[in-house]
Amino acid sequence: LVTGVQTCALPIWIIQFGTRFDVSKKMLIVDDDPPILAFLAEIGKYCGYDVETTDSSFELVKRIVETRPDFIILDIVMPKFDGIEVLREMSAEEVEARIVLISGFDPDLLNRARSLARSWQLNVVDVMEKPLSKEVVITCIETAEQAPQIQTKWKEPGSDQ
């Protein structure tokens, strides 16, 4: 068991109706609030993801590069955690996952972080403000899955690659 990684039991609405897809996609959720981690993990599983959660920024980017999640939900404001710096490191590692930023603070902070991350060629597909609702999170994930994958690697001028 990795320190800071949590698992959660499936809620009754998932047990009754099952997941919506085959679990073959990976999701990483980063938040310092255990109930929010559990809530988002349940919804991620419902949407067909193999979900991993963490409440720690310790070696987060290294872990992202090693596990190569398809989808990342990242709380950008956590104790001892600079979400902007993590986004910068993710850009340096050319992380290609779809990213949703969340925060319970100023919505302008989320929008500025999204703009900055996109300027670094990260695939930030949406932002969500806390408090979160089940319907909003599911819609966000579904919409993000349909969004075109942005090109995250720089092309050389005149190259066809």
Nearest to 76 by CA among 96, 57, 91: 57
Residue 96 DSSP SS3: coil
- Tell me whether the omega of the peptide bond preceding residue 11 falls within 30 degrees of 0, making it cis: no
| Tally of residues, the chain | 161
**Contacts of residue 133, Cβ cutoff 8 Å, sequence gap at least 6:** none
Residue 59 DSSP SS3: coil
Give me the tens of pLDDT residue by residue for the chain, a chain 161 residues long: 333 333 344 455 444 445 454 557 999 999 999 999 999 999 999 999 999 999 887 788 888 988 999 999 999 998 888 889 899 999 999 999 999 999 998 899 999 999 999 999 999 999 999 999 999 999 999 999 887 766 544 433 444 44
Structure tokens at 79: 């104790």
Phi, psi of 109, deg, nearest 5: -60, -45
Nearest to 49 by CA among 66, 28, 77, 68: 28
* Confidence (pLDDT) at 78: 87
Q: Are 117 and 124 in contact (CB under 8 A)?
A: yes
Nearest to 67 by CA among 82, 80, 51: 51
